[in-house]
Amino acid sequence: MLLSIVIFLPLLGVIAIALLRGLGASAVKGIALVIGLLTFVISLGLYTGFDATTATFQNVTQEEWIPGLGTKYHIGIDGISLWLVLLTTFLTPVCILAAWNSVEKGLSGFMMSLLALETGMLGVFCALDLFLFFVFWESMLIPMYFLIGIWGGERRIYATVKFVLYTMAGSALMLVGILALYFQNNNSFDFTTLSGPFEHSHLLFLAFFIAFAIKVPLFPFHTWLPDAHVEAPTAGSVILAGVLLKMGTYGIVRFCLPLFPDAAVQFTPLIVTLAVIGIIYGALVAMVQPDLKKLVAYSSVSHLGFVVLGLFSQDPRGIQGSVLQMINHGLSTGALFLLVGMIYERRHSRMIVDFGGLAKRMPIFATIFMIVTLSSIGLPGLNGFVGEFMILAGSFVTDAFSKWYVVFAATGVILAAVYMLWMFQRVMFGTLDKTNEELPDLNAREVVVMLPLLLFIFWIGVYPKPFLSKMEKSVGLVVTQVQQTEPAMGRAEKRMLQDAQLVLQETQRAQREDIEKEAETK
């Protein structure tokens, strides 16, 4: 019941705004913020009541929905989806407060779209029925279409259509995969009853994976992302980077890995190659961007390449690091988009060349920007370091792919430092342009928007245990399901044989030493 309240409470806000929008802009904003904060507060009950000692789904609700199709209203969370639900409920009120004075037209529609989008995203992370999952997955498109298409930039229609077409192309493939599983699962969409091996599992894996790879987006399916980010309003960019992209990585760890482990193992070299290309390509393209927002957008392509790399490491540390990095990326990149939006509201420009010396004029803005920048490049003590280190450590010890993949991926960390610090230098230092001399520093509302993000950036960087402990059992179950495949078992048997050989060699050496000692005694 608690989970259903969290999912659908934002829709209550949509209804309230629709009925009371005649009261004025202040009432609309107040209703949206209260509903957003209330949803987050209630969602904290999912964390406090979560049992970290089990990998089973919790807060489960299962009711008949369409009996003729065999589909149910079946929802629940585990240690993986828990954090994505909390990330969604956390970022939504932050976005509402960030858009407090920036929406000049259609404020009611904007807030209604934002709250409706929250329900769609929460449903994706909680659905345990494949048909219900697909309904939430598609329903999310509608409010995002309006957010970009109505409140976006000059090329908003092009960006919106491109975003929708890419997503729907992947959705069509996923729907085919869902129907195939439905007929192989006794006409049931229940995810918890699915057990392979399935017929044509490699094709089914590709159907799901391509849909999720588009959403991540993984190279070369990434081309819709920069346009969508640049044209979206600030709140839309934050939600897009913070939550929507995680729907793709969540789909991989929830469906692709446990349902099709054989195919996942066999496609790992190809997928990891694409992830590494995305890491390096995204960083190099970000480095030459003249637009602040587009630079941050391409950095997402690079950062999420690390997440995909860790997911296919088949190592508990790598997958835990990937799930944690989903949260980290939502916080750090979301904060970067908020800061870019704040400076755009003042200067009406996102071009790096139009800035310089802002640290002199806006010290609070510069300080927060510096912390978030360092977080994004993975400085020890901040959140980005923990996730990236776990991904690289788990990927380095795995037998799933060559260590050279990890070596090349690690260059992405260096490149991230190059393009982020170079951008920070050009924007914050140097000569203060006359046009920027009158720019005001962050006001109280903007500081309040950024403080919760900074809190979690430091918290995860210094003490990540509360975040990792809740997901440990769920990640362990995914690893077990993947390692039960024949190729993985072959690697395990090879490792056991190597260990046995080492033990035998050590025993033989000890025996020789004993014989030599006895000979010396005689």
**444-461 tens-digit pLDDT:** 999 999 999 999 999 999
Task: Describe the crossing of helices 383-397 and 363-376 by its angle, rounded to 10 degrees.
Answer: 10
Q: Residue 482 — pLDDT band, cuts 50, 70, 90? A: confident
Composition of the chain by helix, strand, coil, percent to 5: 80, 5, 20
pLDDT at residue number 333: 93
Is 50 exceeded by the pLDDT of residue 497?
A: no
Q: What single-letter DSSP state applies at residue 129?
A: B
Query: Which stretch of 33-42, 427-436, 490-499 has the lowest confidence by average pLDDT?
Result: 490-499
Secondary structure of residue 259 in the 3-state scheme:
helix
Q: What is the CA radius of gyration of the chain?
A: 24
Neighbours of 186 (CB within 10 A): 9
Calculate the average pLDDT of the chain.
89
Average pLDDT estimate for 402-429: 92
Cα separation values, 60 from 1, 81, 421, 506, Å: 8, 13, 45, 52
- What's the count of helices (H) and strands (E) in the chain, helices before strands? 22, 2
The residues, any chain, with a CB within 8 Å of residue 485's CB and separated by 6 or more, are 261, 262, 264, 265
Q: Residue 518 — pLDDT band, cuts 50, 70, 90? A: low
CA 390/CA 386 separation, integer angstroms: 6
Of 426, 397, 421, 399, residue with least CA distance to 493: 399
Contact predicate 480/314, CB 8 Å: no
Q: Residue 67 — pLDDT band, cuts 50, 70, 90? A: confident
CA 211/CA 219 separation, integer angstroms: 13
Contact predicate 311/322, CB 8 Å: yes
Task: Describe the crossing of helices 261-287 and 465-483 by its angle, rounded to 10 degrees.
Answer: 130
Quickly tell me which residue has 């587009």 as its tokens: 294
Query: Which stretch of 6-15, 55-64, 378-387, 501-510 has the lowest confidence by average pLDDT?
Result: 501-510
Of 170, 294, 287, 290, residue with least CA distance to 232: 294
Contact predicate 277/309, CB 8 Å: no
Higher pLDDT, 186 or 388: 388
Contact predicate 119/127, CB 8 Å: no
Secondary structure of residue 66 in the 3-state scheme:
strand
pLDDT at residue number 489: 46
Bridge partners of 64, per DSSP, are: 72
Is 80 exceeded by the pLDDT of residue 216?
A: yes
pLDDT at residue number 68: 84
At 230-247, the pLDDT tens digits run 899 999 999 999 999 999
CA 200/CA 248 separation, integer angstroms: 22
Secondary structure of residue 199 in the 3-state scheme:
coil
Is 60 exceeded by the pLDDT of residue 507?
A: no
Give 417's Cβ-side CA count (13 Å radius): 8
Residue 189, phi then psi, degrees to nearest 5: -95, 5
Is 60 exceeded by the pLDDT of residue 161?
A: yes
Q: What single-letter DSSP state applies at residue 434?
A: G
pLDDT at residue number 331: 95
